[in-house]
Structure 1
Amino acid sequence: MPRSVAGPEIERLIQLLARVPGLGPRSARRAALHLIKKREQLMAPLAGAFGEVLGKVSTCRVCGNLDVRDPCSVCIDETRDETLLVVVADVSDLWALERAGALNAKYHVLGGTLSPLDGIGPDELNLKTLVARVHGGTVKEVLLALGATVDGQTTAHYVTELLRDCGVKVTRLAHGVPVGGELDYLDEGTLAAAIRARTSF
């Protein structure tokens, strides 16, 4: 078993960093070393930012977004189209759609996707509040912005069935060739989806 040359405090920092998605043990070790070397420029401001986030950020009781206010800034924005509700699996998806700037709608974060293998069923997702919001009367279209994975599509079908009697239009994001994508580099599933979703030119 390899010996540790770092003290227990540094090892704890590495172990905590390794829990962050996208960081394995080696990446966490490199990140920890970099932070320690740049204590004044990076670690101190980062520690302060963590403290602020811990004390101020909460989950929006309306849509499930993360913000310093509850309801969040998206939910209280009166310029947004309240007739369009965009359903996403996670907050990161909401932020990605906002960065794209293609929508000016309201959102609903499910908190994941249905995944029986991982023990995630309907009760683990934010579905009851979704149905309640749709029944509220202002929503006319629900856009399912869920991933093109098996779990994402299973969740989309489940939500569609759940909203079948709500009297709203249920749509989903188109799947297919990305902007700037070359056909030779795309997988067969993406190409097949693009062919099925073809439109008039």
Structure 2
Amino acid sequence: MRFSPLIDQLMQALRCLPGVGPKSAQRMALHLLERDPQGAQHLIDSLQQALDKVDHCQQCRTLSETPLCPICADPRRDASLLCVVETPADLWALEQTQGYQGYYFVLLGRLSPLEGIGPDDLGLAFLLQRLQQASIQELILATNPTLEGDTTAQYIALRARNLKRPPLKITRLAHGVPLGGELEYLDGGTLVRAFSGRQVYTDT
């Protein structure tokens, strides 16, 4: 069966969502058009408002409606800790554990020469600038345990060690994070164990 051009366009648009294939997109599109037009309009309005008003935090680079996200604007956080993650989803996964009270830096990706993603694309110059702050005593590398994530962690650690500043402790999430896993999909208990078991980072 062939759908009208506009319905087909809607289904193709819905497929941009992660995990949504042709059948799921078809089911969503028909549900919104046939059974929940008010829900469809609410979705349109919410998406447009988010696109208009959500940007990146000027300090940690996570998604935020304000120049500083609520975490960076919270003076009660531990200023001696800075945790580097790949995505806002990873930040939110760690925050849900309530086991970490420091600040963050979001790379918005990971080093990948094959995809043309280099240090400048990840804001690493800004990260190194932040690490010049004497208040930061520990850098926690929480990139995902993948080949690209490990390469990114190694690069950051190397650059951080060469900074002209007081000695900086560099750690990496350890126990409980499976090789090739994504922080976004790990349960809270696993992430808490990973934080409590973090180790001093070495290149070997």
TM-score by length of 2: 0.80
**Offset at 1:136?**
2.2
Equivalent position of 2:78 in the other structure: 81
Residues 177 and 78 of structure 1, relative CA distance in 2, 3 Å threshold: closer
| 1: CA distance, partners of 2:175 / 2:25 | 35
| 1: CA distance, partners of 2:24 / 2:123 | 33
Equivalent residues of 1:84, 1:141 under 8 A apart: yes
Show the 5 A alignment for 1:4-43.
4=2, 6-43=3-40
Equivalenced residue count is: 178
Residues 38 and 132 of structure 1, relative CA distance in 2, 3 Å threshold: farther
Show the 5 A alignment for 1:33-182.
33-166=30-163, 167-176=167-176
Equivalent residues of 1:80, 1:106 under 8 A apart: yes
| 2: CA distance, partners of 1:175 / 1:36 | 47
Alignment identity in percent? 43
**Offset at 1:37?**
2.9
Unaligned runs of 5+ in 1: 179-193
Equivalent residues of 2:145, 2:177 under 8 A apart: no
Higher RCO structure (Cα 8 Å, ≥6 apart): 2
Write the deviation string for residues 15-35 of structure 1: whole angstroms up to 9, x where unpaired.
111112221222222222222
**Offset at 1:176?**
3.8
C-alpha RMSD over aligned residues: 2.1
Q: More displaced, 9-18 or 80-89?
A: 9-18
Residues 177 and 82 of structure 1, relative CA distance in 2, 3 Å threshold: closer
Structure of greater Rg: 1
| 2: CA distance, partners of 1:16 / 1:69 | 28
Equivalent residues of 1:74, 1:106 under 8 A apart: yes
Unaligned runs of 5+ in 2: 179-193, 200-204
Secondary structure in 1 matching 2:84: strand
| 2: CA distance, partners of 1:69 / 1:122 | 26
| 2: CA distance, partners of 1:146 / 1:7 | 44
**Offset at 1:177?**
6.9
Residue identity in the other structure for 1:119: G
| 1: CA distance, partners of 2:97 / 2:4 | 44
Equivalent position of 1:189 in the other structure: none
